[in-house]
Structure 1
Amino acid sequence: MNIFLIGFRGTGKTTIGKLLAQRLDKEFIDTDEYLEQKQGKTIKDLFREGGEPLFRDIEAQTIAEVCRPDNRVIATGGGVILREENVRRLRKNGIIILLDADADTLYKRIHDNAQTQQKRPSLTSLNAYEEIEYLLAYRRPLYDRIADFVINTASLSKHDAVNKILSFLHTYVKDLRKG
């Protein structure tokens, strides 16, 4: 069983995913890092070359590849839910956990992370904070629609977030065995 972490940029998918994978003794994959390594380019470069459509095509191919093996913790890109083919693959191949946070928290985390600013493109012509608010308003219903479990990471440590996920997974697996 794969565990997919979805959510907006800055919610902690990579940080929490690595720790969760370690605790579960599973392989960890960050799909953004995976596709950058495979393409030999940053996401920002891919956007520059072919815009969002090119990036979303490559992202869909990446999701198809990383779903095949089982028993992984997989942190997805924030926009993975924009394509129905990705949603179908995630649902078919594992449990989907949404990491969520408010716009203020996300802005601070993204703004404080130089690597995120260098490697990730702006997706709108809005300023950084307004873009977060706009994209969250658009994406949140999509995230909520497919999530098996939602956890707000705004005020949790990475360890507390992982413990909440582990508690959910324990209950989820126990319920599967009963059913």
Structure 2
Amino acid sequence: MKPLFLVGYMAAGKTTLGRRAAQLLNVEFIDLDAYIESRYRKRISDLFAERGEEGFRDIERRMLHEVAEFDNVLVATGGGTPCFFDNMEYMRHRGVTIYLAASVQTLCRRLSHAKVKRPLVAGKTPEELYEYITEMLNRRESYYRQADYRFDADGYESLDSVDEAVHRLAVLMQNPAYGDGADEI
């Protein structure tokens, strides 16, 4: 099976949905950020601090190319991964991309209630968080929309709804036309 890449903003559900989908499909799940941390034995925030964004994005690109060579893999990318270099074009060439699209309201709610605070949004007031996410989505949306498929990520908040979404994804991937169109799923 061609690699499957989940793209979208932080808190869209790439890791949650991806992990469950990989189990159902009996493929390996890779969270690209966790993969980078494992390979470099440093946290993403430390790599950013040491190398700057440009240095980190170069590492991210090289690790993306590495995992894209694996068979039977589902990769949850970082929120910025498709927005740098030719990453989105490369992922589309190597496999199938799915954009997990979530509204600003959903992303704000998920990030506000997350047990682990993400460094880019830690300490922001609800108003600042809303403005920040709106601005970042405006910058990144054109990259995300290049995905082969768009998946409405607003609709799953419970385990049952995640399982329903995973089953829809599994049906898509078992379809003979898998990867042949830019459709809503």
Q: TM-score range by the shorter chain?
A: 0.7 to 0.9
Change (3 A) 1:55 1:121: farther
- Paired residue for 1:36? 37
CA contact (8 A) 1:44 1:121 kept: no
Deviation, 1:128, is 2.3
- Output the TM-score relative to the length of structure 1: 0.87
Return the alpha-carbon distance in structure 2 between the equivalents of residues 92 and 159 of structure 1: 28
Aligned-residue CA RMSD in angstroms? 1.8
Q: Percent identity?
A: 36
Amino acid at match of 2:152: N
What secondary structure, in the 3-state scheme, does the structure 1 residue paired with 2:132 have? helix
1:42 & 1:175 partners in 2: Cα distance? Answer: 39
Distance 1:116 1:39, change over 3 A: farther
Which structure has more helix as a fraction of its residues? 1
Instruction: Please state how far the C-alpha of 1:34 moved relative to its aligned partner.
Output: 0.6
Matched with 1:161 is 165
Paired AA for residue 11 in structure 2? G
Matched with 1:83 is: 84
Following the alignment from structure 1 to structure 2, what is the Cα–Cα distance between the partners of residues 77 and 152?
A: 18
Query: Shift of the alpha carbon at 1:166?
Result: 1.8
Contact 2:88-2:143 within 8 A present in 1 as well = no
Partner letter of residue 79 of structure 1? G
> Unaligned stretches of 5+ in structure 2?
179-185
CA contact (8 A) 2:92 2:148 kept: no
- Quote the residue 1:53 is aligned against: 54
1:65-104 matches, within 5 Å, as 65-104=66-105
Look up the SS of the partner of 2:155 in the other structure: coil
Letter in 2 for 1:140: E
Query: What is the rounded CA distance, in whole Å, between the counterparts of 1:121 and 1:45 in structure 2?
Result: 13
Q: Are the structure 2 counterparts of residues 60 and 116 from structure 1 closer, same or farther at C-alpha, using a change threshold of 3 Å?
A: farther
Count how many residue pairs are aligned between Structure 1 and Structure 2.
Answer: 169
Verify: 1:136 aligned to 2:137, yes or no. yes
Runs of 4+ in 1 over 3 A off after TM superposition: none
Q: Which residue of 2 aligns with 1:175?
A: 177
Q: Distance in 2 between matches of 1:138 and 1:164?
A: 29
Distance across 2 between alignment mates of 1:38 and 1:115: 22
What is the TM-score with the length of structure 2 in the denominator? 0.84
Partner of 2:150: 150
Query: Structure 1 residues 4-13 or 153-162, which shifts more?
Result: 153-162
Match of 2:151, SS? Answer: strand
SS class of match (2:55): helix
Give the 3 Å change call, closer, same or farther, for CA 116–41 of structure 1 in structure 2.
farther
